[in-house]
Structure 1
Amino acid sequence: MGHLKEMVGANAAELVVVRHGQTTWNATDRLQGQAESDLSDTGVKQAQAVADRLARGAKHITAVYSSDLKRASETARMIADKIGCAEVIEMESLRERHLGKLQGLTRAEAQTAEPEALRASFSSDMDEPIPGGGESLNQLYARTKAAYEDIALRHLGQRVVVVSHGAVLRALHVHAKGVQPASRVRNTSINVFRITSSRDWSLRLWGDVNHLQGTDLLRAGQGGDEIH
């Protein structure tokens, strides 16, 4: 993570995107989407670990942004406190994918109660929404692209932290690399994107969880991010 000590070029912004800590619903395989659940005790420890890591290893962070869902905003607040940033800027547009009728169900429950919604959540049809008000992949991709480019254009020449969600990070990987990531997005993983003033994306770091290595927090941070 040595490049996080470097200055950022004037024509780009560097977005250090962190997935929130584990939640009580993550721990029980319950689908969250835009529903609220609390950080678990493990999730709090993960958030503290990533906050310590960024405070030690990253320089010139000028702002902290977050989804307005509390699992993200609480993680962001711990990071902001550690790096000495007074404000966390919460944005609704940074929320997790809306999962419609799946929200609040375990995967096992969804297979029985909402099989059509579960199928739609994995559909290869980019325009197919999840029943019950859920988003299609194209809706998720358009929302995340606009939100992150907006942040980048506000902060050209700067490095900012953004605390977000698993499906959102998978969408950002598509924006930068053109493909879905091969691995899951772990809780409190560090992922670094560079977005230029002409809205060109590149990926500088993906899935860094060195702050969890050697602890029992790493296994808990692997949670199924595919649809939450």
Structure 2
Amino acid sequence: MRIGLIRHGLTDWNAAGRIQGQTDIPLNGEGRKQAERLGRRLQSESYQWDYIVTSGLSRAQETGEILSQMLHVPMLEPDARLKERGFGQIEGLTSDERVARWGKSWDTLDLGQEHISEIQVRALAFLDDLWFSRAHENILIVTHGAFLANLLTALYQDQYTERIGNLSLTILEKERDDWIPLLYNCTQHLTMDTAEQSE
């Protein structure tokens, strides 16, 4: 089984540095273009994908729909376990706004954030269920930055710590016991022009 882990495209809150969490912010124009660039990349690669599943939040859902149309790959029902980490009171705020309200140590306070252990439990449960139900299929999963960072930490401890980029692609493969990373946080498609992608 192979899975492609994709972070959704850019939103206005991403561009402004606002934490989105589970607030349902749509893609912006640039985010849609990013999804199309990834779609062109995937069209040109040898990997074959059977299904796409998303978190159901509109920024992930629309990213998945763009890829589905371009690749002619059907979408499964959204899975709520793929939603972004809930950030409680800090959703919608920039770094400066968080510091102004709660000081520089705001991230040590209980402001309603979903605990890391909770997001990792639901992320690993999703992967386990996917493995048991679709072990012979290859699935593109469109989800969110903090979700992906915490999933990768759960799988690989501190091996991967780079910030997960918008429309990045990470590919994992499993034949028996462990998920083997084949590609990590790759965004090369975002810097290639259309002519390069069609070669």
Q: TM-score, normalization: structure 2?
A: 0.88
Whether the 8 Å CA contact 1:177–1:203 is kept in 2: the answer is: no
- Within the candidate set 54, 59, 78, 1:90 is matched to 78
Residue 135 (1) aligns with residue 114 (2): yes
The one-letter amino acid of 1:118's match is W
Quote the residue 1:125 is aligned against: none
1:146 Cα offset (Å): 0.7
Deviations 1:29-54 (A, max 9, x none): 11101111121211111011111211
Q: Trace 1:181-200 onto structure 2 (pairs within 5 A).
A: 181-196=160-175, 198=177, 200=178
Whether the 8 Å CA contact 1:101–1:117 is kept in 2: the answer is: no
Whether the 8 Å CA contact 2:50–2:74 is kept in 1: the answer is: no
1:157 Cα offset (Å): 1.9
Q: Trace 1:58-137 onto structure 2 (pairs within 5 A).
A: 58-115=46-103, 118-120=106-108, 130-132=110-112, 134-137=113-116
Does the C-alpha gap of structure 1 residues 95 and 38 become closer, same or farther in structure 2, counting only changes over 3 Å? Answer: same
Quote the residue 1:149 is aligned against: 128
Give me the whole-angstrom Cα distance separating, in 1, the residues matched to 2:52 and 2:106: 33
- Within the candidate set 177, 183, 203, 2:181 is matched to 203
1:196 Cα offset (Å): 4.6
Give me the whole-angstrom Cα distance separating, in 2, the residues matched to 1:214 and 1:14: 25
Give me the whole-angstrom Cα distance separating, in 2, the residues matched to 1:180 and 1:95: 23
Whether the 8 Å CA contact 1:176–1:203 is kept in 2: the answer is: no
Alignment partner of 2:78: what SS? strand
1:214 Cα offset (Å): 4.2
How much identity, in percent, do the aligned residues show?
A: 27
Alignment partner of 2:108: what SS? helix
Give me the whole-angstrom Cα distance separating, in 2, the residues matched to 1:184 and 1:174: 12
Quote the residue 1:218 is aligned against: none
RMSD between aligned residues: 2.0
Alignment partner of 1:89: what SS? coil
Give me the whole-angstrom Cα distance separating, in 2, the residues matched to 1:197 and 1:120: 39
1:182 Cα offset (Å): 3.0
Q: TM-score, normalization: structure 1?
A: 0.78
Alignment partner of 1:77: what SS? helix
Give me the whole-angstrom Cα distance separating, in 2, the residues matched to 1:117 and 1:15: 36
Whether the 8 Å CA contact 1:15–1:162 is kept in 2: the answer is: yes
Whether the 8 Å CA contact 2:149–2:161 is kept in 1: the answer is: no
Count matched residues: 193
Alignment partner of 1:65: what SS? strand
Give me the whole-angstrom Cα distance separating, in 2, the residues matched to 1:118 and 1:214: 38
Gaps of 5+ in 2: 194-199
